[in-house]
Structure 1
Amino acid sequence: MNTNLHTLHKRIGAAFLLLVLFVLAGAPQAFAHATLEKTVPAANAKLAQSPPFVELSFNEAVEPGAGSVEVVDSQSNKIKTDEPALENGGTTLKLPLPSLAEGVYSVSYHIISEDGHPVSGSYVFVVGNPPNWKDAETFAANTNTSKGMQQNLLYVVRVLYYAALLMAAGTALWQAFIRKPSESLQSAFKRLSVIGLRALLVTVLLHIFLQVNELMKGQPISAWGKMFTDTTTGRAWLELIVLALLGFVAQRFNERFVRLLWVVLLLGVESLIGHPAANDPKTLTISFDFIHLLASAVWAGGLAVLLYVWYTDRKEAGRFGASFSQGALISLAVLVVSGVTMTLLFLPKLSYLWLTTWGGLLTVKTVLVIAVLVTGTMLRIRMKRSGFPAGTLLKADLVLMACIVAIAAVFTYMSPLPANEPYNYHQMGDDMHVTFNVSPNVPGTDNTITLQVWLPEKIGEPKSVVLRLRSDSREDAPIDVPLERVDEDAYDSFPGYKRAAYRAEGTFLPYAGKWMAEIRVMDQEDNEIVRETQFRNY
């Protein structure tokens, strides 16, 4: 009896199990996770104007009130938006957007499908025609690429040119400021003006010759004329030569207006050559550079006059020193404000200061300016006590000024930003060889990505290849790069291995930072091989 009952229980259990399996087999399948079917804007879309919303459509409903959708700009800043809303029975997630400026934007989503599984992803779209990405290439047109001795010679001439420029302009400014100069002061102005103008003319010619000689190397002399007539930089160089010559004419006039006009034109043309002219917004960068040069000229020219008078007429040095100390204090304050402003305009991130020689020189210059402020304060205290500036402090101020002018002359000819360079990765292995390239490796613009995979011939070609880019600076979902299979000649061949090549073009790097490329290769036997490589851009 017990045996029959035990057998009956087994049969009932087996029948119940078969019934459960039958019900499950006939029920709608819900094992697949929600997958993204459509996006608005589309991935890698280039839009003429800001989209009103971001819309993500999935093949099945997603959980309400769970997950997130965010939009990030090219500076890795999150765009402020309202909360996303579910539509179309919970299969569409819609995020309203504010008006977006021209730029590159990435959409990152983290949602939960109705079966409880998390789903995430990212993609990029572009609004309008964003300005070119700011890196070392931004300043390439104003940065000499010569090497070795010629580069050192250029730097020496540039230091002398900057010193002559500030001395000539500064002397003219102080001549205009002092209404009734004494005979000693008039003698100082006349002597220093002649020295400054002669030095300016010689260094301008040398400076321009060295640059043109490098730029026009290998070209006929007839092409040199076009350099000065058909380019903005060439025309500005001609204007500098003309203004250097006109300085001798302006010196003969006693009118303040003539001298001031000459200084404004001279420093204005200098502001149009170099980093300010290569940076955006040009109006701001050129304006602040002009103000910076003007303040530098007041300080440098005034110090030169004070030193000259100190050696020739100590009483006059005391009188002029009072005016100079006030002018120097104001000019240094203006130098600090304009210098900080230009640094913020040049650099997308202040952390870039530690990545370039430009940043290192700027740091040294900052320390020297602080030392000048200390020296200037001590000079003012000494003059209040005795009425005469101390020779030791004046000489110290002169040395500090010379160092600052030298640094400014050199670092204004260097790129303030680190350079983005194409990234190349190659790794050999028994199970797979892989080559991965990103060019030009510049954020916020179209990049060409190539991927080559070599698998053993006995395994054959890959069943699938997936490339994902992950940002180290943000915890966004990875950006899947849409690879296309290409047939092209192989530069590298490996006996016993078969090659498959892939390519993608688009804005796959929406912002600067460290990136991890994750390469996932599935072979014909469903074995997955994963390689990772890290690269960065600025």
Structure 2
Amino acid sequence: MTLKKSLSYTLLFWVLFLLATPKAAFAHAVLEKAVPAQDIHLQSSPKEITLTFNERLENEFFTLKVFDENGEEIGRTKAKLSVDQKQLDLKLPKLADGNYTVSYQVVSADGHPVKGSYIFSVGEGFAGKSKTVPIQQGDELSPLTSVGRIFYYLALLLAAGWIWWGAMARKQLVLLHELKQSHESIAHLLLMVFIIANFGFGAMFAGGYLDQWSLSNLIAMIIDTTAGLSWMITTILLLLGFVILFRNPWVDCVWVVLILGAKSVNGHAFAFEPRLLTVSLDLLHLLAAAIWAGGLLYILLYIKKFQEHVQKFIKLFSAAALISMVVLIGTGLISIFIYLPKIQYLLETRWGALLIVKTNLVLVVIAVAAALRFYLKKQDEGNIRRLVKLDFILMLSIVCIVGALTYLSPIPENKPLHWHEKVEGMDFTTSISPKVPGTNSFMVEANSHEEGLGIKRIELNLINKDNSDVAPIHVPLEVYDQGKYAHFMTDGSYLPFAGNWTAEVRILDSEDNETVYRKDFVVY
């Protein structure tokens, strides 16, 4: 295979790498339903708290607690996890009238810790007095987390790919003693870097898992969670690498597959069904990416000092390049089909914004490819090397974005609707909380600013914009205050499913003049 074809394949790889990695962006578990719901007012004490998540949770390191207005925990009963590991239930004693805070901490099957809290109220005298506290989903992306993830993925791909290519080119390495020593020295360096990245990665996760650091909690985290076991296996394989690698090419290849497999069960693929398929796809995807990344690094480091060897290496690299390309395309397309949510979500999340930035980087890669073809025809090795270095920098940029994407969710978070509007002679506020399919709190408050004019009635209707066959849903609001200031509210399951909705508020004043207001919103 010629150098020209090799460089062209290298550029094409990074385009495919970008297009085939959206699956890496799926973040942790999201709270889909809470009973009692956020900000809901109950006339009597609930018997239990039930939280339902969109994906499986780890069967250890979960807590669900309820606190009263004084910050005292209600009861000491431990929450129970359902058989499908998606639902938490906590039995409650009889609650006195007042406001209560629900606080939870879970670990999703992909290894992400998630914490959150919200408020509900019990008792007639407390209706509408609960200060709204949005449910927290733990989707904050810190710079340290991003850097740690970028460092980890670079170390993983480069170390695995470098060792894989050492096994594939073993016969050629044996004939060149200096090259063999250089390759093994760089491999040991990459292993050391990966060990540092792995320990940093583990420390970040432990910080999210553990409220209190102790040896017993640390051991339990490692042994009792999928993420902990994955980290332990990776650590053992890394340490064994210094002893067993570079002796037998088959052992080296098995080591690469095992260490990539350990990562595959500690990620988003492990949280989706069918798990065997998703984990296998992730493993194949990582292996293909490692082969490409390691091969590119190999060429960059040795193209100047061992030109003749690199020419032979490229011939070996070409067949693997083609296979890796097919694997990347196949696993990428299947993963998109399984994981990717609605396309319009791209414009509504930080995940989508970063993906658009990645797409722009692809355009730069294509421009570099065109320039490379131009200089390859002229056999201008100086410019070729500079462009290959630029291509490598673009790869690093893409991996940086991927590192951020792995901690973000492509699915927009449902946030309570707070709609405030000032009109002539009156202002009103409409709220729907937490604005999720299922049980919600609905409230409309209105103030009349005209002398002698009060508010007689307020109606709230919910109109589904996606399906005209669904008739408007009337929300039966209860009167809590009426007159110049009106306060209507209720709790119930009047948002049956996700989609595009319109809130229609009808306000009738004391002179029987009705005014209609509408507000569009989306339920995810």
Q: Which amino acid aligns with 1:276?
A: A
1:533 counterpart = 2:503? no
1:453–1:361 CA distance, 2 compared to 1 (3 A): closer
Query: Residues 393-440 of structure 1: CA distance to partner in whole angstroms, max 9, x if unpaired?
Result: 432332232222222222222222222212122346676654422233
1:320 shift after superposition: 0.8
Tell me what 1:345 maps to. Answer: 338
Q: In structure 2, what residue type is equivalent to 1:166?
A: L
TM-score computed with the length of structure 1 as normaliser = 0.62
Q: 1:411 to 1:146 in 2, by over 3 A?
A: closer
What is the TM-score of this pair, normalised by structure 2? 0.63
1:330-382 deviation per Cα after TM superposition (whole angstroms, max 9, x unaligned) = 43453344334434433321222233232233334345456657767987998
- Give the aligned partner of residue 292 of structure 1: 285
Write the deviation string for residues 213-241 of structure 1: whole angstroms up to 9, x where unpaired.
Answer: 24435666653333333333233222332
Is 1:436–2:430 an aligned residue pair? yes
Following superposition, the deviation at residue 152 of structure 1 comes to: 1.4
- 1:17 aligned residue: none
- AA aligned to 2:327 is V
Contact 1:426 1:433 (C-alpha < 8 Å) held by counterparts: yes
Shift of 1:204: 0.6
Alpha-carbon distance, 1:269 to partner: 2.2
* Contiguous gaps of at least 5 residues in structure 1: 1-128
- Specify the alignment match of 1:511 in structure 2: 498
Are 2:250 and 1:249 aligned?
no
d(CA) in 1 for partners of 2:192 and 2:298?
A: 17
Q: In the alignment, which residue of structure 1 is the partner of 2:169?
A: 178
Q: Which moved more, 1:310-319 or 1:366-375?
A: 366-375
**Structure 2 residue aligned with 1:225, among 210, 213, 219?**
219
Select 2:489's aligned residue among 502, 519, 526: 502
Distance across 2 between alignment mates of 1:374 and 1:327: 25
Q: CA deviation at 1:141?
A: 6.4
Report whether the alignment pairs 1:410 with 2:404.
yes
Structure 1 match to 2:17: none
Note the C-alpha offset of 1:252. Answer: 4.6
CA 1:230 to 1:317, structure 2 compared with 1: closer, same or farther past 3 Å? Answer: same
- Give, in whole Å, the separation in 2 of the partners of 1:275 and 1:293: 13
Counterpart secondary structure, 1:516: strand
Secondary structure of 2:492's match? Answer: strand
Structure 1 Cα separation of the partners of residues 371 and 319 of structure 2: 13
> Over residues 144-181 of structure 1, what are the superposed CA-to-partner deviations in whole Å (9 max), with x where a residue is unaligned?
85868xx2122222222111100111122223333522
Query: Relative contact order: is structure 1 or structure 2 higher (C-alpha 8 Å, sep ≥ 6)?
Result: 2
Count of aligned pairs: 392
CA distance in 1, matches of 2:485, 2:389: 73
Task: Give the CA RMSD over aligned residues.
Answer: 4.0
Letter in 2 for 1:241: T
Whose radius of gyration is greater, 1 or 2? 1
Which stretch shifts more, 288-297 or 183-192? Answer: 183-192
In structure 2, C-alpha distance between the alignment counterparts of 1:363 and 1:500, rounded to whole Å: 44
Q: Is the 8 A contact 2:113 2:208 kept in 1?
A: no
The match for 1:198 among 184, 192, 196 is 192
Match runs of 1:94-109 below 5 Å = none
SS in structure 2 of the partner of residue 311 of structure 1: coil
Measured in 2, the distance between the counterparts of 1:452 and 1:282 equals 45
Distance 2:319 2:366 in 1: 12
- Match of 2:303? 310
AA paired with 1:142? H
2:401 aligned partner, one-letter code: I
Tell me the equivalent position of 2:415: 421
| Match among 444, 454, 458 for residue 452 of structure 1 | 444
Q: What secondary structure, in the 3-state scheme, does the structure 1 residue paired with 2:396 have? A: helix
Partner of 1:265: 258
Distance 1:470 1:507, change over 3 A: closer
The answer to whether the Cα contact below 8 Å between 2:475 and 2:494 also exists between their aligned partners in 1 is no
